[in-house]
Chains A and B, each alone.
Chain A
Amino acid sequence: MALVLNEDEVMLRDTAEGFFATKAPIKALRTLRDTNDETGFDRTLWSEMADMGFAGIAIGEDHGGVDMGFQAAGLLAEQMGRNLTASPFLSTAILAATVLREAGSDDQKNTWLPKIAAGETIMAVALDEGPKHNPAGIETTAVKSGNGFKLNGSKAMVIDGHAADTLIVAAKTNDGLAFFLVDPKAKGVAIERTIMVDAHNAARIDLDDVEVDGDALIGETNSEDALRKVLAAGRGVVAAELLGAGGEAFRTTVEYIKERKQFGVPVGSFQALQHRSSHLYTELEISRSAVLGALSALDAGDPKADRYCSMAKSKLGDVAKLAALEGVQMFGGVGMTDEYDIGLFLKRVRVLQELLGDAAYHQNEHAKANKF
């Protein structure tokens, strides 16, 4: 397992670090939020990301991508986590691209993947429905109708669903779970933009007798293997983003407690804070290994890769949350103000930790997979 980055990956990380710190710092998210931006992310940024090859990071070269794999995608996500960057990277470049890559027909891949890689289309994958992540409980149906399908159901927490040019909807067919391309403007599609606590965006989507053509079906009427891969990729990449957000929250906290003085000394000189900081440092290092191990397993085609991505998501959900909570506590009163960034990390981590399954969900999955 590649737990140490190779030269290309180090270069990519350094490039991404500079890119996001300059082009999409935390200030940019504040501006999007405070100006009630209508998309909630910056489309110019997204096309610049495409120019850098980021949109096609997990897309093959024959479809216009750079095909660097999920380890590389994780390095980008980590930098976005550090900067709280809003972009359709997860929705389009990871989730949608993986659905198409894993389940799509040749025609569908040829049509859509180059557009994603070029930053020309934004896609959102509509998966979850209830208050918690539960891919086994999808109730949206796709029933054969003429030479196409009729879709019914309600989706929630569809990342970037409000801004997508095309939706990918997961629905039950007679054969199993399948993915469908749906035009957001089609009759029967109702989309409500939901601005979340972290100022990033999602949507609730109702599908009421939505008619789609036969070629809207991505691949086959049973794409459960592809779904597993999509979930693994999503979880691994979100874990990497949590590593970035948690790590940055921690870094700024340590910086702050070195400066902030009470009782005539820096509060960071108190052992009560030192031991908690050292513990957190350790947890974050352990977490980094989990992310590297999971994503490199995914790239290597390891049959247990989906297990590892689930485990990494569990670990990172807990650790990034601890980093955010400790951050706010150690910043003290100013940590509660909107002016300081630490509160933004608390909010972002809360969303990411819920996304694609929280720690408890993945602990349960671990137990089920190991038969206990």
Chain B
Amino acid sequence: MSETNLDTFRGEVRTWLEANCPEEMRTPMQGDWDVCWGGRNFKFQSDAQKVWLERMAAKGWTVPTWPKEYGGAGLTRAEEKVILSEMRKINARSPLTSFGIWMLGPALLKFGNEAQKAEHLPQIARGEIRWCQGYSEPNAGSDLAALATKAEDKGDHWIVNGQKVWTSYADQADWIFCLVRTDNTQGKHYGISFVLFDMETPGVEARPIKLISGRSPFCETFFDDVKVLKTNLVGEENKGWTIAKYLLTHEREGIGGGNSSMRPLHEVAAMSLGLDEMARLSDPVLRTKIAEAEIDEWAFNLTMSRKLAESKAGQSMGADSSMLKYYGTELNKRKFELMMDASGHDGLEWESDRSQDGKLARSWLRTKANSIEGGTSEVQLNIISKHILQLPGA
């Protein structure tokens, strides 16, 4: 699309948003409870939240680049960027946050058959079905391909037995996309299959895990003789590892992203510690560390944009997603350590109105998982060594 056409499109988007985005949806989210996850059992916080999702979904704008027949709007990436930037201008909230959009959707578009796309993608786009990801197991974390959840062949279906762990929001999800072992006679990367099933299927149980932050975003998920129809196999039997890797690449690009809506570190530090008579932060060592981190953050954000632009120009991001995941998560941890340093005693409060029930401390603790989930930093460094630097034996 030419620049002029994009400008026309921008005008249309602006007018539509102005008319259709409810006022209440143009205010910053106050907390996790304001996030719209959708799904069968989702309780909308307000009519505005519900209306906003319905209007965006009807327009195909929850997934602008997906084809129209699957609930999208068939737009280009450039047009999607226009929608996002116009939404930002009016502080519009995201109408739908979804692992279906972020992770499963791209995998289904690439590897799913026609029936699977037609069944699942529109429900994802409309926020009707909430998905969770069944990847890690107690003995298959960094070594994901060692997974052992067993799927026994029963003709037109499998019987699945085993356990997943770190399943995000499994207790609230409607369906799961899951890696199971359908063959264990050859190397560990062969024999993995990518299957989909309903979390209400008899034999599925999800138990929340309480974390050091006091919150429970993750579950242990157990499968006891769960029946999964073979029509729910995505791609080829025993060759699910390819899909798993593709999807992890998407996940990494997302996790590396960090939290840009955070107040700049230096503002938090200046408020907390004050400035000296030369208008410098009163802690000179922290001052340097904050400057360094902010410069790194600037360069990292540019790198995200650059890699996106390069992949759009027809170059694949590939192993570079490991680089973004590694750097982004380590940087985020660093930022929160500095945030805690700057906040001192105040940042340690866990249960008080002043601290919004330990908002900073809990967020700080949450960031520790950034460099573990979606493949640890060490795994990312291994991937870079092997696939980019091509070092021997990596």
Contact = CB atoms under 8 A, between A and B. Distances in A.
Interface of A: 1, 3-4, 254, 257-258, 265-266, 268-269, 271, 273-275, 277-279, 281-282, 285-290, 292-293, 308, 311-312, 314-315, 318, 359-360, 362-364, 366-368, 370-372
16 contacts: A3-B302, A4-B310, A271-B382, A277-B389, A278-B384, A278-B389, A282-B323, A288-B306, A289-B302, A289-B305, A290-B295, A311-B295, A311-B299, A315-B295, A318-B292, A368-B280
B9 interface: no
Interface in B274-308: 275, 279-281, 287-288, 290-292, 294-296, 298-300, 302-303, 305-306
A209 B388 CA distance: 59
Given A3-B309, A371-B279, 10 more contacts: A271-B382, A274-B381, A274-B394, A279-B326, A290-B298, A290-B302, A293-B298, A311-B295, A366-B291, A367-B280
A274 B280 contact: no
Nearest to A254: B389
Contacts of A285: 303, 320, 323
B270 A360 contact: no
B378 interface: yes
Contact of B288 (A4, A278, A363): A363
Nearest to A372: B266
Nearest to B299: A290
Contacts of B269: 372
Interface string B364-394: 0000000000000010111011001111111
Given A275-B381, A292-B302, A363-B288, A265 B327 contact: no
A110 to B, nearest CB: 37
Interface of B: 264, 266-267, 269-270, 275, 279-281, 287-288, 290-292, 294-296, 298-300, 302-303, 305-306, 309-310, 313, 320, 323, 326-327, 378, 380-382, 384-385, 388-394
A308 to B, nearest CB: 8
A95 B298 CA distance: 26
Nearest to B391: A268
Interface residues of chain B: helix, strand, loop or mixed (majority): helix
B287 A372 contact: yes
A281 B388 contact: yes
Contacts of A275: 378, 381-382, 385
Contact of B298 (A269, A288, A311, A363): A311
Given A286-B296, A311-B295, A315-B295, A268 B279 contact: no
Nearest to B282: A372
B381 A278 contact: yes
A60 B213 CA distance: 59
A260 to B, nearest CB: 11
Nearest to B275: A372
Contacts of B326: 278-279, 282
- In this complex, the member of B299, B389, B392 whose beta carbon has the largest number of chain A beta carbons within 10 angstroms is B299
Contacts of B313: 4
Nearest to A308: B298
Contacts of A266: 391-393
A307 to B, nearest CB: 9
Contact of B296 (A257, A315, A360): A315
B19 to A, nearest CB: 32
Contacts of B294: 366, 370
Interface centre among B275, B281, B381 (most CB of A within 10 A): B381
A31 B76 CA distance: 55
Contacts of B296: 286, 315
B384 A282 contact: yes
Nearest to A270: B393
A366 B288 CA distance: 9
Contacts of B394: 269, 274
B278 to A, nearest CB: 9
Contact of A277 (B275, B280, B391): B391
B370 to A, nearest CB: 15
Chain A to chain B: the 5 pairs with minimum beta-carbon distance, closest first: A269-B393, A278-B384, A289-B302, A363-B291, A274-B385
A80 B264 CA distance: 37
A192 B306 CA distance: 45
A324 to B, nearest CB: 18
A279 B298 CA distance: 18
A258 B291 contact: no
Given A4-B306, A269-B394, A367 B385 contact: no
Q: From A273, A285, A364, A372, name the one whose CB has the most chain B CB atoms within 10 angstroms.
A: A372
A163 to B, nearest CB: 35
A285 B303 CA distance: 7
B302 A274 contact: no
A371 B294 CA distance: 13
Given A265-B392, A275-B378, A372 B288 contact: no
Contacts of B327: 282, 286
Nearest to A3: B306
A367 B291 CA distance: 6
- Point out which of A266, A269, A363 has the most chain B C-beta atoms below 10 A from its C-beta: A363
A363 B393 contact: no
A363 B267 CA distance: 16
Interface centre among B291, B310, B313 (most CB of A within 10 A): B291
A282 B104 CA distance: 28
A372 B284 CA distance: 10
Contacts of A268: 391-392
A176 B187 CA distance: 74
B303 A289 contact: yes
A304 to B, nearest CB: 10
Given A277-B385, A289-B303, A290-B302, A363 B295 contact: yes
Nearest to A283: B327
B311 to A, nearest CB: 10
B313 to A, nearest CB: 6
Contacts of A1: 302, 305
Which of A282, A287, A293, A311 is packed against the most chain B CB atoms within 10 Å?
A282
A367 B266 contact: yes
Contacts of B384: 278, 281-282
Contact of B392 (A269, A282, A286, A293): A269
B392 A289 contact: no
B274 to A, nearest CB: 10
A316 B116 CA distance: 49
A286 B299 contact: yes
A278 B390 CA distance: 10
A52 B327 CA distance: 39
A277 B275 CA distance: 39
